[in-house]
């Protein structure tokens, strides 16, 4: 069952980029990697913008700002962990004797 419209359990920052993710066609690993990094970058930029608006007193809700910052933080941590696993796998393959 798919919920139509805005889902109250998904932060608004994620709802803005979710249709872009669903409509995107990937041609391969490089395109998937590029789109994933682009999504992480968008989350970082949205979090930065939310913090700026809050600091300038433009009516941002502190809870939404903290959620956006935590989403960006978790996305970056996941990206770093995936990179570490890929590097580890590459090193393991390079150590194999043929």
Task: Give the tens place of pLDDT for each residue, 4-17.
Answer: 556 666 666 666 66
Compute how many other C-beta atoms are within 10 angstroms of the C-beta atom of residue 85.
10
Residue ranges covered by each domain of the chain: 28-93
**Per the confidence metrics, is the pTM higher than 0.75?**
no
Cα distance between residue 39 and residue 31, in whole Å: 12
Tokens 């798919």 label which residue?
Answer: 2
* Burial of residue 43 (number of CB atoms within 10 Å: 0-12, 13-18, 19+): buried
Strand stretches in 2-98, DSSP E: none
pLDDT of the residue at 26: 45
Average pLDDT over residues 45-58: 92
Cα distance between residue 98 and residue 94, in whole Å: 10
How high does pLDDT run on average in the chain? 82
Question: pLDDT band at 58, cuts 50/70/90?
Answer: confident
Structure-token pair, residue 54? 């809050």
């Amino acid at each position: 069952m798919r919920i139509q419209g805005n889902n109250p359990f998904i932060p608004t920052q994620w709802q803005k980029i979710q249709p872009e993710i669903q409509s995107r066609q990937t041609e391969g690993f490089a395109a998937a990697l590029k789109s994933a990094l682009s999504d992480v970058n968008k989350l970082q930029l949205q979090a930065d913008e939310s913090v700026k608006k809050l600091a300038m007193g433009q009516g941002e809700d502190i809870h939404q700002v903290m959620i956006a910052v935590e989403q960006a933080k978790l996305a970056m941590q996941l990206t770093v962990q995936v990179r570490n696993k890929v590097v580890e796998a590459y090193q393991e393959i390079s150590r194999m004797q043929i």
